[in-house]
Structure 1
C-alpha cells in the first residue's frame, strides 16, 4: 500500500498544503484563479472520526462542517439552508435558489426519476447481499455538466466507493479537483460522516477512508494563511488532540430529519435553546453537539451579546469548544471557566 497514511485529517492537510506550496508541479490559472498544483495526490485516514484540524491559524469552522454534512445527508440542494452558513456559495448558483454540481447529497440520497431507491440505498442493498462486492460505487460528477460552458458549479466530487471488508466499511473518495486549503477540509468532514452513516446502517465498524485528487491545488490568495498554518505546525511542541465520539448505532434518516427541524428553527431564529433545552430534545448526546453548534451560530448571527452563552459553550465537547473559541472571539471562554 503506497498511499500515505495519517491518523486523521490534520496530518494529511498539512502534508498536502506543504507539497503544493513548496513542491508544486504547475502554476495554473483556471477561470482567473491563480494557484499552484500537484497532479494526482492522495492519502488514507486510519481513523475517519479524526475529521477536524486543531490549528489556531486555520480557524476551522465546525458549524459549517456540521451544517454541510447534514445538508448532504438530507439530500438537499437549496441555498436557503447552506448559504446561511456560507454566503459565498450563492455565487455558484445559476438561479439564486439551488446549487447543482456541488449539491452532492442530492445525487447520493435521492432516487433518480422513475427509480424507487436512491443510489445510496442501492449500494447498501448491494453490500447486504454481497459483502465483498466491488460494485458499491456511486458516481456524482456527470459529463453533462461540461455541456454548459459557463457552468459556475461543476461537481468536484467524482464519486464514492463503499467497500465492506472483514466487518468494516471502508470508503474511497475520488475528486476531480480539491482546493487543499479550503475545500479539502469540508469535503473530508462531510464524506467521512457519510461513510460513518453508511457503516451504521449496515451494522459494520468504521474502516479506513482513502481520498484521491486529480488536481490538488492551493490558491495564491490563500498563500499567507497557508504559510502561517505551516509555521504553527512546525513550531508547536506537539499537536492538539481531542477524543472523537462514534456515531450512535440507532442513527437513521429519521434522526437526520429531526436534526433538520432543529436546524431550521435555529437558523430562522424561531427558538433559543439553552444547554438544558438541548439536553431535553430526546437526541443522543452525539447529535446534541450538532444542535449546540447551531445554537452557537444563532447567537453569533442574531444576538447582540459580546459573549455566546457560557452554558452552551461548556456543553460542547472539548474539541468543538476549542475550535469555536479560536474562530470567534465571542466564543472564547472566560479565564477560569470549564475547559
Structure 2
C-alpha cells in the first residue's frame, strides 16, 4: 500500500514516525505534502515546518504547492498512490485529489465527531471545559469534516491541561488508532459509520481578540479559556492603559457578592477576580514587556488596587450548531483540525 501523507502540524509526527518504523510490506510512505515555507521568528526568515524538516531527514519526497490541484493528482496517479492520509494540512482539497487514490483519502481529525467540526477543535475543547476529546479517523468528502467515521481514540482532558498538553496527547493517540485500522485499510474493508447530523457542531478559527475576558461569565468558563489560549492568543484584561496577561489561573466556586471584575487581594500577595459566579484565582501574570511572574512577585512590582473593577470585554462564541460565517484572517491564526 503506497501512502501519501498531507499535513503541516507537528501533531502528526508521532504517528508518522510510528508508521515509518513499522516497515510493513503493506505500508509504504512514498511522499509528504505540506504547506509552503512561511516567514517567522526574528528577521522574518522563511522557515520550514516540522513536518517538512522530518520528511527531508527521512529522505522522503516533499511537495509544497500553494494549492493542490490537477497537476498533483496526476503525479499521484502516475506514482501509483493507493491511499492519502491527511492531518491538519491547512488546505481544502479539490475533487481531483479526493478521487485519485483507489483506497480513498482518510483524515485524522482532532475531535470526537460529529462534535467540533472545523479549524480549532483542540483549543475549543479545552476552552469549553470538556472532560474528554479524541481523534476521529474519517473519510474526507467535499463538505468540511462531514465524512463517515471509521474509529475514534478518546483522550481525557485533565483539569489543568492546556491546549498544548492536549495537542501532545492527541498526537500520541493517533498511534493506537492507526494500529487498529491499518490492516483493514490495506485490505479495503474498513467499516465507516455516517455522522449523526443531530449532534453536529462547529468550531471556528481562533483570533487575537479571543484573549479578551468577560468577567460576567462564570469563573470556570474563564479558567478554561486561560488554559485553552496559553500561549496564544493568551488571556488579558486592561488595567490603567496596559494589557495584563493572565498566564495561569483556576476557578474558585465560592460565591462572592462583589461586582464582576472586582479585584480582591486578601491575603496580600494573592489576586482573585470576581466573576458572574465564583472567582478567578490568578496564579501567574505578565505585563507588557515584562517576564511571566508568579502573582505574589508580580504584585510586588506592579501596584493594583483591591476593590477596583476591571473592564469586561465580549467573548465570541466558540461552538455553534451551524458553520461560522467567514471572516477576514488578518487577525486570526490557529487551526488544528
Which band: TM-score by shorter chain? under 0.3
Greater per-residue strand proportion: 2
Bigger relative contact order (CA 8 A; separation at least 6): 1
For the pair shown, the structure with the greater C-alpha radius of gyration is 2
